[in-house]
Structure 1
Amino acid sequence: MAGGAELANPLRLDVGSHRKCLAMCCLVTLASFQYGLDYALVGGFMAMPGFLKVFGYYNEATHAWAIDTTVQQLISSLMTIGTFVGSLVIGPYSARFGRRPALWIASLLNFVATSIMIGTTNLAALYVARFLLGISVGWFLTFGQMYVNEVAPAHLRGLVFAIYQCQLSMGSVVGAAVDYGTKTMPTKNAYRIPLALFYVVPTIQCLALAFFPESPRWLMTQGRNADATASLRRLRNANIDESEFQGELNEIRVSTREQLQKTEGKRLWVEMWKGVNRRRSLLSVAIICFHSANGSSWINIYTTYFLTVAGISNAFGFSIMMTCFGLLGVLASITIVRQVDRRIIIMGGVAACGLCQLAFAIAWTVAPGSAATGRVMVAFITLFTFFYVAYAPYAWLLGGEFPNNAFRAHTYGVATAMNFLGNWLAVFTAPYFINPASLGWNAKYGYIWFGSNLILFIFTWFFIPETRDRTLEEIHEMFEAGIPARKFKGYVCTDTQAMAHAREKDVEGPQVVHIQDA
């Protein structure tokens, strides 16, 4: 339980009683597979002769195929720009249409973008496809995360997001492995075969979503109480105790009603930055931006290229090993997420990531390009990947927990957009630092990211509240009460407990008509 405080979660605090919902969440989080797949595949393309013959050039001085820095930047960063643009419209779209239809639209965009990338040899068309793929991946991630945040039982949200990260890591492992198998092909098939993998997951998810209900919390914000009740019942096991079901339903019903009454007739884009909502929105944006602020983006997408430039042999093989260690990291976090506070996991993760970046930066400064430095780089990039992937899902989780039901899509969309803007900046500027044709810093780039991780550690210590095992309604009550971050852990949410123990006849009140965001 959260710091020993009595919780308002009326459900059984086990895993077996919620098998049905967990299975649905696992299929929805398959969307993250696409994100990991893209990072692994595109990073490998930059060192593939089959890809470079089409989109690169032959360097007469080195007698090897190479790629222009600008082209490299655009191929890598346009997907991130797409995620940024797509994220900005998530709030208005979701306010009207919900979570589930967005995942179908993301699948359609994925099919179009993948077909263009496989079929074209034109750089302009490739750039357009990368942008469309970015919108698709951004919607996959954001709407998938919002859905599981709103449907998973409170005590299992951490586990669900660990599974989400596991899917992402498996996408990276599969992408790196397929790149390794096709890297020596001299033809366009070297990158076309890996790209075909983008069709698999969206096809599975499109079929599965036809059998899944919409988010009950979103339905409540639309005033569709009967649909929300039916949705929640479909998400819970058939043998659930009726008092548990009614307790959870009442929490959602009453809390959402109160939240909507405060926003009725108001502009959500404005209200999310006022009063207590300003704190919630800023914290959501900050914690989600941890992903771009810790230096993961340049390592994830440029590992193979970076190691190749650094003179490390078998860079593809080491990339696969590092990706596998990332999967081990999230598997390790799964074993502790239900027992260890989220703040502890995040602070430990950013501290380890910062020290890893500092270690290989120092090694390159002392003995640049040596065999010993190469081994140090492989070791600490591997450790960085392990610790980053171990804590990464809980930053996404907290970012979705902080906003209330009325603002979640708007806040989460802005937070996701800011994170991908940060990713774009890191990916776009990284070649200037690591490319020998530019600054040629190589591993000394890690100095910058050590300082960034130090800031993240301090910020978490002072400002990020503990939400482990709390329902979204409990989190809302604590924010509304103005509880300091350090006191969330032991706070008793008496109002939410009363909702959980009430019956529908005790909480009847005037229905709130949903007002579309102006």
Structure 2
Amino acid sequence: MVGAAISANPLKLDVRSHIKCLLICFVATIPTFQYGLDYALVGGFISMPGFLQVYGYYSPELKKWNIDPTVQQLISSLMTIGTFVSSLLVGPFSSKFGRKAGLWTASILNAVATAVMLGTTSIGALYAARLILGISVGWFLTFSQLYVHEVAPAHLRGIVFAVYQSQLSIGSVVGASVDFGTHTLDSRRAYQIPLAIFFAAPTIQSILMIFFPETPRWLMVQGKEEMAENSLRRLRNSKINELELQAELNEIRGSTREQLEQNKKALFIDMWRGTNRRRTILSVCVICFHAANGSSWVNIYTTYFLQVAGVKNPFGYSIMVTCFGLLGVLVSITFVRYVDRRNIMLVGVLACGICQLVPAITWSVSPNTDVAGRVVVAFITLFTFSYVAYAPYAWLLGGEYPNNQFRAYVFGLATAMNFLGNWLGTFTAPYFINPASLGWSAKYGYIWFGSNMVLAIFTWFFLPETRDRTLEEIHEMFEEKVPARKFKSYICVGVEGLAAEVVGKDPDKARAYHVEMDSKAPADHVERV
């Protein structure tokens, strides 16, 4: 639904006042370029003669180079296993070292894995490098998202996550384009040239992050309140109204103190106690939407799938598909600030389900025909557009639901479960689509249509609406056990009171503050307490 959202956010609800923070968030999300790059590159490698001559075999029956399904599975899935393992370690590592240290560690691991892949011709070394790369990518994704969750203004988190997704989509476009330019090379250079790009994004981000602060919420959880204030000042506009800054800081400080009083230590078991249980389950479920809608097999096997489906020029079409993914996230930027997140999620999963169903039906009726091939191309393109248009907001919701103390633990677990689902999708997909196995081709979409309908039902009944809410407001609503359907209209008196304390000693300023806050709520809403 389009309309004004209730929020105790004390900051100016515009974009211009927060350009500095948006630029910082842009840098923090640069490594997500790696994830899209890997999906596109590896999807192309398994169709390159230069790669298959090293790691594949020539098939007399197919009269072309092919790859053993087991090798195909391991190359694709070992990275996902790495992301699963690293995501589980995010909570303990982050609790001690912070968000920035996680990003720098990921950069080092990325460099090691890429160097091995460039230099080796051993399948065992390739497997090891893919696992290490997965650990790196898992930390890139989780730590970059944790960072932007905790520094972005509440009303701009949607924009920030659209930027996050656009970086991933740009990586996919670049990967598909470079593969297209090198796939005809009859040597190892066909895949070595694309692999060299893996060094670029992490190096740029690692250098720039030196100049940015740690997140104020992480510092507040550590008890470093003065450093948290300094961090918040560095993140916000230098000309920000001091009342706005102090009001936001007081919200973070008061809410974090309350959270720490409830849970003295952040332990995995505490995520499942009391009101935290609901928050953990919701976070895990919504982030796993990525794996449950079929995106894993579509993304990584686009080129290969188009090839086995008999589509001519699969590399060229894969570029078109990834470009439509980028277009999808750019379109979503235009409405994410104005449309409820529940509605974005609901429309997104329904569209993805339809885009899986139509090619499956077409292939059942007319398999291996030109018409079926064109339908496959069209609906894979539409699927990618729809998926990328809503996908960043699943990550967004998953990071908004946990409290400051448990965010890294819950988000790490949720990300790990998502990558476990991705691994299952990438590991089993070759059995269904490889001609040497079941050879289902597009009929594989029947399975994913069903899973998308389950996601739609879950969204309708269980996902709370959090658009424009501060993380502290979301904490208060969960603590008050507000039903999912009432999140949108609930007024967080406790959090607003923390912000209002800043101006409480000056009656004129207090009245001005409340007038400004009331102006942000719908005109017909009940009077604030």
TM-score, normalised relative to structure 2: 0.94
Answer with 274-283 or 52-61: which moved more.
52-61
CA contact (8 A) 1:147 1:215 kept: yes
Name the CA distance, whole Å, in 2 between partners of 1:104 and 1:6: 37
Instruction: Give SS of 1:437's match.
Output: coil
CA contact (8 A) 2:180 2:316 kept: yes
Q: Which residue of 1 aligns with 2:389?
A: 390
Name the CA distance, whole Å, in 2 between partners of 1:470 and 1:499: 15
Instruction: Give SS of 2:466's match.
Output: coil
Name the CA distance, whole Å, in 2 between partners of 1:32 and 1:342: 22
Specify whether residues 428 and 67 from structure 1 end up closer, same or farther in structure 2 by C-alpha distance, changes over 3 A only: same
Name the CA distance, whole Å, in 2 between partners of 1:140 and 1:504: 40
Name the CA distance, whole Å, in 1 between partners of 2:407 and 2:62: 52
Q: Which residue of 2 aligns with 1:236?
A: 236
CA contact (8 A) 2:4 2:338 kept: no
Q: Which residue of 2 aligns with 1:99?
A: 99
Matched to 1:478, the amino acid is M
1:385-410: CA deviations, max 9, x gaps? 00000000000000000000010000
Matched to 2:156, the amino acid is L
Name the CA distance, whole Å, in 2 between partners of 1:79 and 1:90: 17
Q: Which residue of 1 aligns with 2:30?
A: 30
Name the CA distance, whole Å, in 2 between partners of 1:4 and 1:130: 46
The alpha-carbon deviation at position 354 of structure 1 amounts to 0.1
1:130-164: CA deviations, max 9, x gaps? 00000000000000000000000000000000000
Matched to 1:67, the amino acid is I
Answer with 52-61 or 247-256: which moved more.
52-61
Name the CA distance, whole Å, in 2 between partners of 1:211 and 1:504: 32
The alpha-carbon deviation at position 61 of structure 1 amounts to 2.3
Matched to 1:27, the amino acid is V
Matched to 1:142, the amino acid is T
Name the CA distance, whole Å, in 2 between partners of 1:446 and 1:52: 27
Matched to 2:10, the amino acid is P
CA contact (8 A) 1:345 1:391 kept: yes
Q: Which residue of 2 aligns with 1:413?
A: 412
Q: Which residue of 2 aligns with 1:252?
A: 252
The alpha-carbon deviation at position 281 of structure 1 amounts to 0.1
Name the CA distance, whole Å, in 1 between partners of 2:113 and 2:268: 31
CA contact (8 A) 1:85 1:135 kept: yes
The alpha-carbon deviation at position 288 of structure 1 amounts to 0.3
1:364-404: CA deviations, max 9, x gaps? 00000000000011000000000000000000000000000
Q: Which residue of 1 aligns with 2:11?
A: 11
The alpha-carbon deviation at position 446 of structure 1 amounts to 0.1
* Superposition pairs of residues 288-307 of structure 1, within 5 angstroms: 288-307=287-306
CA contact (8 A) 2:51 2:191 kept: yes
1:206-263: CA deviations, max 9, x gaps? 1101001001000000000010000000000100000000000000000000000110
Matched to 1:55, the amino acid is Y
CA contact (8 A) 2:6 2:468 kept: no
Answer with 60-69 or 33-42: which moved more.
60-69
CA contact (8 A) 2:2 2:338 kept: no
Instruction: Give SS of 1:502's match.
Output: helix
CA contact (8 A) 2:83 2:134 kept: yes
Q: Which residue of 1 aligns with 2:524?
A: none
CA contact (8 A) 1:49 1:183 kept: yes
Q: Which residue of 2 aligns with 1:272?
A: 271
Matched to 1:149, the amino acid is H
Ranges in structure 2 where 5+ consecutive residues have no aligned partner: 506-529
Name the CA distance, whole Å, in 2 between partners of 1:505 and 1:261: 25
Matched to 2:18, the amino acid is H
The alpha-carbon deviation at position 267 of structure 1 amounts to 5.5
Instruction: Give SS of 1:104's match.
Output: helix
Name the CA distance, whole Å, in 1 between partners of 2:467 and 2:49: 48
Matched to 1:339, the amino acid is Y
* Superposition pairs of residues 180-195 of structure 1, within 5 angstroms: 180-195=180-195
CA contact (8 A) 1:2 1:469 kept: no
The alpha-carbon deviation at position 59 of structure 1 amounts to 1.1
Name the CA distance, whole Å, in 2 between partners of 1:155 and 1:412: 21
Q: Which residue of 2 aligns with 1:363?
A: 362
Name the CA distance, whole Å, in 2 between partners of 1:335 and 1:419: 27
1:469-506: CA deviations, max 9, x gaps? 00000000000000000000011001110111113999
CA contact (8 A) 2:5 2:468 kept: no
Name the CA distance, whole Å, in 2 between partners of 1:339 and 1:227: 34
Ranges in structure 1 where 5+ consecutive residues have no aligned partner: 507-518
Matched to 1:240, the amino acid is I
- Write out the 4+ residue segments of structure 1 that deviate beyond 4 Å after TM superposition: 1-5
Name the CA distance, whole Å, in 2 between partners of 1:347 and 1:328: 19
Q: Which residue of 2 aligns with 1:204?
A: 204
Q: Which residue of 1 aligns with 2:165?
A: 165
CA contact (8 A) 2:84 2:416 kept: yes
Q: Which residue of 1 aligns with 2:376?
A: 377
**What CA RMSD, in Å, does the superposition of the two structures yield over aligned residues?**
1.2
Name the CA distance, whole Å, in 2 between partners of 1:76 and 1:502: 53
Q: Which residue of 2 aligns with 1:315?
A: 314
Q: Which residue of 2 aligns with 1:489?
A: 488
Q: Which residue of 2 aligns with 1:512?
A: none
Matched to 1:369, the amino acid is N
The alpha-carbon deviation at position 31 of structure 1 amounts to 1.2
Specify whether residues 2 and 412 from structure 1 end up closer, same or farther in structure 2 by C-alpha distance, changes over 3 A only: farther
Matched to 1:214, the amino acid is E
* Superposition pairs of residues 146-161 of structure 1, within 5 angstroms: 146-161=146-161
Name the CA distance, whole Å, in 2 between partners of 1:403 and 1:113: 32
The alpha-carbon deviation at position 63 of structure 1 amounts to 2.4
1:409-467: CA deviations, max 9, x gaps? 00001000000000000000000000111111110000000000000000000000000
1:333-353: CA deviations, max 9, x gaps? 000000101111110000000
Instruction: Give SS of 2:438's match.
Output: coil
CA contact (8 A) 1:48 1:184 kept: yes
Instruction: Give SS of 1:467's match.
Output: coil
Q: Which residue of 1 aligns with 2:512?
A: none
CA contact (8 A) 1:2 1:490 kept: no
Instruction: Give SS of 1:347's match.
Output: helix
Name the CA distance, whole Å, in 2 between partners of 1:272 and 1:411: 7
TM-score, normalised relative to structure 1: 0.96
Instruction: Give SS of 2:272's match.
Output: coil
How many residues align structurally?
A: 505
